[in-house]
Copies of this chain bind each other. A is one copy, B any other.
Amino acid sequence: MTLIKPFRELCAEHGIAVTHQRQVLYEVMQGMDGHPSPEEIYARVKRKIPSISLATVYKNIHLFVESGVLREVSLHHGSQRLEMNAEEHHHLVCSKCKSIEDIDESSLGALPKRRKLADGFLVERYSVDVIGICAKCQ
């Protein structure tokens, strides 16, 4: 469905420079499915550019995410955070400052919940992140 755009176009659109390392990194990542980690990506890129540095991989992944070329699975993947609100609720996550605010279910509107989903996944609960820009960051 989504047509594959050449890397140089993507870079132009997002205002970042094209380099050989970035091009290969991006293409290698496109060839991986699921949700790879920087280390896994590094291992693959190294096969194409053996001299590449892990730091360069991290730096460019970060650049891609910052500039919007690609996205990360969770905006709050750093250190562990404990949930002190026992009520059933969800979160407003600011994509700029990464702040996390509680929002209760009723403010979101009812979610259509199912106990059982395809391929036999047994549902315990839904956790919704509403991602956007908080009042302060606007």
Q: Which residues of A are in contact with B by a Cβ distance under 8 Å?
A: 1-2, 29-30, 32-39, 41, 61, 65, 70-74, 76-87, 91-92, 94-95, 100-101, 103, 107-112, 114, 117-135, 138
Residues of chain B with a CB closer than 8 A to A38's CB:
79-80, 82
Residue of B nearest to A37 (CB): B79
Distance (whole angstroms) from the CB of A26 to the closest CB of chain B? 11
Distance (whole angstroms) from the CB of A61 to the closest CB of chain B? 7
CB pair B124 A133 closer than 8 Å: yes
CB pair B117 A130 closer than 8 Å: yes
Contact of A80 among B77, B82, B110, B125 (CB under 8 A): B77
State the main secondary structure of chain A at its contact with B.
Answer: mixed
Q: How far is the CA of A47 from the CA of B29 in the complex (A)?
A: 47
CB pair A122 B133 closer than 8 Å: yes
CB pair B133 A117 closer than 8 Å: no
Q: How far is the CA of A95 from the CA of B81 in the complex (A)?
A: 16
Query: Which of A30, A41, A118 has the largest count of B CB atoms less than 10 A from its CB?
Result: A118
CB pair A29 B84 closer than 8 Å: yes
CB pair A81 B36 closer than 8 Å: yes
